[in-house]
Amino acid sequence: MIKTLKTEGGIKMAEMLKVRNLHVSVEGRKVLEDINFSMDYGEIAVLFGPNGAGKTTFIMTLMGFPKYKIEKGKIIFKGIDVTHMDVSERAKLGMGLSFQRPPVVRGVSLRKLLNIIGNGRKEEEIIQYAEKLNLTTHLDRNVNDGFSGGEVKRAELLQLLMQKPELVFIDEPESGVDLENIVLIGEITNQLLGRGQRIKDPKKSAIIITHTGYILDYINADKGYILLNGRLQCRGNPRDILSEIKKNGYRRCFTCQ
C-alpha cells in the first residue's frame, strides 16, 4: 500500500494551483469526478493511471480547452479563479502545455511560431534553444509537419522554452521517443523548470503524465498521484508509486478506493 507522504522541507510555500470539487465531461460523458488537487510553487507532480483514467482530460481541463467541459468546481491559479477563462488567457497568466499529438500548422514555419511566442525576444535565443534540442534544421519547416515522435516532443519543449510558462503540463514526454531523446527531453524539461542549474527557480511547477515512468530517471519529481476512473486516488512519493504499479499494476489502488 502506498502511503501518503508528509510535506517535506519545513516551510510550506503558497499554493500555485488549487482545484476544488472538479467535475468534467467530454462530449456529454462524465470523465472526471470530484477532483481536489493542489500544488505549491516550484513543485513537480507526476500523474499515473491506466489508459482512459482521465489523465489527459485533467491537464487539458486545467489548460482550458473547450472540449473539456467543467460541470462543477473551481480552478484557482496563482490566486486567480481561471475556471471560466479561455486557453489564451490561461497561457498569458503562465500556464503552458506540451501536447502529446499536436496538430500540423501548414504554411507556418516553426521559426515564425517561435518568434510570435517569443514576442519580440531575440532570434539568437531561438537558435540557441534549437541547437540544444537538435532542431535547427526544423526551424524552417512547417510546424510539426512530418516530425517524428521525438521531434514532436522536442519541438513542443522548444516552444515552451520560448513561452516560459510558470506551470507546465507535459503529456507523456517519453511516448514514441528513443532512449537518447529521453535523456535530452529530461534535461530540457529541467531547464524549462529552472532545475538542474545551480540556482533553482522555486516558482516553476509542472504536472507530468507518464505511463512508463522513464522520465523519473531524469526529473526529480516531488509528488505522485494516481488517477483511476476519473478520480484522484493516491498521493505519494512518485518512485514508490511507480514501483508499486510495476509490481502490482493498479490492482491495489483499486482496492484502496
Partner 1 sequence: MPVSNKYIKQIQDRAKKAINKSALYGEDIDLNKFQKFIERGKIESLELLPELAKEAALMAGVDVEEKERSGSYVQMDHSVVYKKLSKLYEGKVELMSTNEAVETYDWLEDYFWRIVQPDTDKYTAQVALNPTHGYFIRILPGQKLDYPLQTCLMIAEGYISQNVHNIVIVEEGAELHIITGCTLSKSDAVGIHLGISEFYVKKGGKLFFTMIHNWAENFYVRPRTAVVVEEDGVYVNNYALLKPVKSIQSFPSVYLKGDRASARFNTVIYGLKDSYIDLGSKIIFEGKDTKGESLARTIADHKSVIYSRGDLIAKTKDYCMGRLDCRGIIFSNDASIYAIPQLISYGADRADLSHEASIGPISEEQVEYLMSRGMTKDEATSLITSGFLNLDIPFLPEIIDKHIKEVIQITSKEAL
Interface positions with partner 1 (CB under 8 A): 63, 65-66, 86-88, 91-92, 96-97, 99, 102-103, 105-108, 113, 116-117, 119, 142, 159, 163
Q: Encode 180-220 in three state secondary structure.
A: HHHHHHHHHHHHHCCCCCCCCCCCCEEEEECCCCHHHHCCC
- Minimum Å distance from CB 63 to partner 1? 6
If the CB atoms of residues 13 and 104 are measured against partner 1, the closer one turns out to be 104
- Minimum Å distance from CB 42 to partner 1? 22
If the CB atoms of residues 106 and 247 are measured against partner 1, the closer one turns out to be 106
- Minimum Å distance from CB 107 to partner 1? 3
DSSP 141: S
If the CB atoms of residues 67 and 198 are measured against partner 1, the closer one turns out to be 67
> Which residues, including other chains, have CB under 8 Å from residue 199's CB and lie 6 or more apart?
none
DSSP 250: T
If the CB atoms of residues 19 and 114 are measured against partner 1, the closer one turns out to be 114
- Minimum Å distance from CB 150 to partner 1? 19
**Residue 228 and residue 192 in contact, taking contact as beta carbons nearer than 8 Å:** no
- Minimum Å distance from CB 105 to partner 1? 6
Write down how long the chain is.
257
If the CB atoms of residues 58 and 99 are measured against partner 1, the closer one turns out to be 99
> Could you tell me whether strands 80-81 and 231-236 are parallel, antiparallel, or unpaired per DSSP bridges?
unpaired
* Spatial distance between the Cα atoms of 90 and 63, rounded to a whole number of angstroms: 7
If the CB atoms of residues 135 and 242 are measured against partner 1, the closer one turns out to be 135
The x, y and z cell numbers of residue 11, run together, are 516551510
* Spatial distance between the Cα atoms of 199 and 225, rounded to a whole number of angstroms: 27
Q: Where are the beta strands (DSSP E) in 55-174?
A: 68-77, 80-81, 95-98, 105-109, 142-143, 167-171
- Minimum Å distance from CB 159 to partner 1? 6
- Which residue, chain included where needed, has cell 494551483? 17
